[in-house]
Amino acid sequence: MNSRRHFLHKLSASLIALPAFSGRELNEIQLLNEKAYEGPVLRVAILGLGSYGTRVADAMKTCTRAKLVGAVSGTPSKIKDWQTKYGIPEKNCYNYENFDQIKNNPDIDAVYIITPNSLHAPFAIRTAKAGKHVICEKPMALNAKEGMTMIAACKAANVKLLVGYRVHFEPKTLEIIRMRNEGELGKVMFFQGLCGFRIGDPSQWRLNKALAGGGSMMDIGIYAINGSRYLVGEEPVWVTAQETKTDPVKFKEGVDETITFQLGFPSGVIASCLSTYSMNNLDRFYLNCEKGWAEMQPSTGYGPIKARTNKGELTHTHVTHQTVQMDEMSDIILGGKQPLVPVDGEEGLKDLKIIDAIFMAVKTGKKESLSL
């Protein structure tokens, strides 16, 4: 069995390193993987059955090391629909009131929290107290203080806390990081991250400060923050930021429309970033280095990611991000795997500290120091 697992790990690596498989060959490899895998499977309940929860659930149909087994929602009709669509047994379904009873269910290992941001910390703490591993969508919490309470609760309960940083497992992203780490691009000089779209329905929770904790920064801007960190390969030490608001009716007090921000890194690298809810076609990362460059556009969308460097286009095969993420998170939780780019609570906390500092810099107009 060990040799078979070793073979499968080599196959998985080949999917990243060798992009030239045909669709038929990829299907055959996937079937082989599904038939041969005999290791542990992470049994997951999804909490929050909205559009992204559905996307994750659909992606998990092709996971080999993670399985959707439970559903948690405040809407009874959604649970019924999920039971039918995904074959979830009644005993693995909970509402927000009886959720704590999940501690008595040995058939659920982890809970993936996919709710409005303000519910992340409360449900993460309840999940930890129930003895289940926590997977939480980003941003991990409303602010760094909340994030620290989540980390403390999970440590006290001896459970893992992971954050849904799906692009940390994306092949083209990992290839650029490899090229930087191995010196192929030379010294990093500059990063640009542009993240935004024109948001629609003004009544949605993403434009409600109490539920979202802000506006574009808490939803799309965090990609530029996180991307600057994993592509530059350092932690920023200062931030400056400026806010622009053209529609104060739609974007009320505390709900940011557009923020430009700059991050400074110990080596002297500067990151120039934009987060907005008022412009489309913004999903681009650019890394400038002494010996080369890398560009990604789209850089963080659901896929396929498109990337090129001074050496040419990256052509790694696209696999649904959420499928890869959940299989990788199974390996982290059940197998102790250490990913190249972290997805743990400490990683989530660093982004929250930066967001807190960005909001402060907008208010003060000053350069804010960072200590991550």
Task: Catalogue the active-site residues.
Answer: 138, 223
| Angstrom distances, CA of residue 14 to CA of 97, 171, 266 | 45, 11, 35
Which DSSP state fits 282?
E
Can you give the length of the chain in residues? 372
Dihedral angle of Cα 235, 240, 246, 248, to the nearest 10 degrees: 90
The side-by-side arrangement of strands in the sheet containing 66-72 is 93-94, 66-72, 42-47, 110-113, 133-136, 161-163
Do 215 and 256 touch, CB atoms closer than 8 A? yes
CA atoms of 344 and 351, how far apart (whole Å) = 12
Q: Which long-range contacts (CB under 8 A, 24 or more apart) does 103-107 make?
A: 103/129, 103/130, 103/131, 103/132, 105/70, 107/43, 107/69, 107/70
